[in-house]
């Protein structure tokens, strides 16, 4: 027996009844609890099985708690978006001033995992919107991006989900989500091995979809250097 594992016997992997406290996420230090005990145990068993398939040396202390560490990392950070919803983390405010100016928040760094190969990808996001009846705290745009990025994802889908959710919750005149300078490890470390390649995507809704001029203005602001 090595730290709760009997070698090559997955069924003997210890069942954890409590995998620790909630964690504090990167946005405004808001406490978020993710996952449950059954889910944690399923993930750690899957990680054990993966490593065991490669015949890792379970006597090596570097592997001793690896299934536990990886399961916690997925639940607490890498894939915590599955346990979160924009509705729970976003507060709307009335647009009492009647503002219909263009709002852009950019250079929001995000991390995600490719749903094709489970490889990491990272980049930057920008959200532009024109309000109608409601306004949104600027930091909440980054929070919504984080919720959808921290899942097994496609870059295109993240942008679409962010724009669609903002259209649903905020009901603005339009939204445009741009993900840019995105580096995909599945493209740089395997296959064609395009080490310097980056990807950009645009998900335009409402007036941004209808007006090329408005899209161009938003992109100009996003691309502008400080």
pLDDT digits (tens, 9 = 90+) for 28-63: 333 344 457 888 999 999 999 999 999 999 999 999
> Which pTM was predicted?
0.84
Residue 64 is predicted with a pLDDT of: 87
- The region of weakest confidence among 38-52, 53-67, 140-154, 189-203 is 189-203
Tell me how far apart the alpha carbons of residues 160 and 144 are, in angstroms, rounded to a whole number: 12
- In the chain, which ranges are E strands? 23-24, 31-32, 92-94, 102-114, 120-130, 134-136, 152-153, 174-184, 199-206
Residue 18 is predicted with a pLDDT of: 52
Domains of the chain: 10-83 (1.10.286), 92-223 (3.30.1130.10)
Sign of CA dihedral 23, 27, 32, 37: negative
């Amino acid at each position: 027996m090595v730290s709760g594992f009997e070698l090559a016997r997955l069924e003997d992997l210890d069942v954890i009844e409590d995998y620790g406290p909630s964690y504090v996420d990167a946005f405004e230090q808001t406490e978020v609890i993710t996952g449950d005990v059954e889910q944690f145990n399923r993930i750690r068993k899957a990680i054990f099985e993966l490593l065991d398939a490669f015949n890792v040396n379970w006597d090596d202390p570097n592997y001793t708690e690896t299934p536990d560490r990886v399961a916690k990392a997925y639940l607490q950070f890498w894939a915590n978006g599955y346990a979160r919803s924009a509705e729970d983390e976003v507060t709307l405010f009335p647009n009492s001033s009647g503002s219909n100016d263009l709002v852009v928040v950019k250079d929001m760094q995000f991390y995600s995992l490719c749903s094709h190969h489970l490889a990491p990808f990272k980049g930057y996001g920008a959200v532009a919107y024109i309000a109608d009846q409601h306004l949104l705290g600027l930091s909440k745009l980054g929070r919504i991006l984080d919720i959808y990025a921290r899942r097994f994802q496609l870059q295109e889908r993240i942008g679409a989900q962010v724009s669609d959710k903002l259209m649903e919750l905020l009901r603005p005149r339009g939204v445009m989500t741009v993900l840019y300078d995105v580096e995909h490890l599945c493209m740089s470390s395997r296959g064609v091995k395009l080490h310097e390649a980056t990807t950009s995507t645009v998900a335009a809704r409402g007036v941004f979809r209808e007006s090329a001029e408005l899209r161009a203005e938003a992109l100009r602001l996003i691309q502008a250097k400080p």
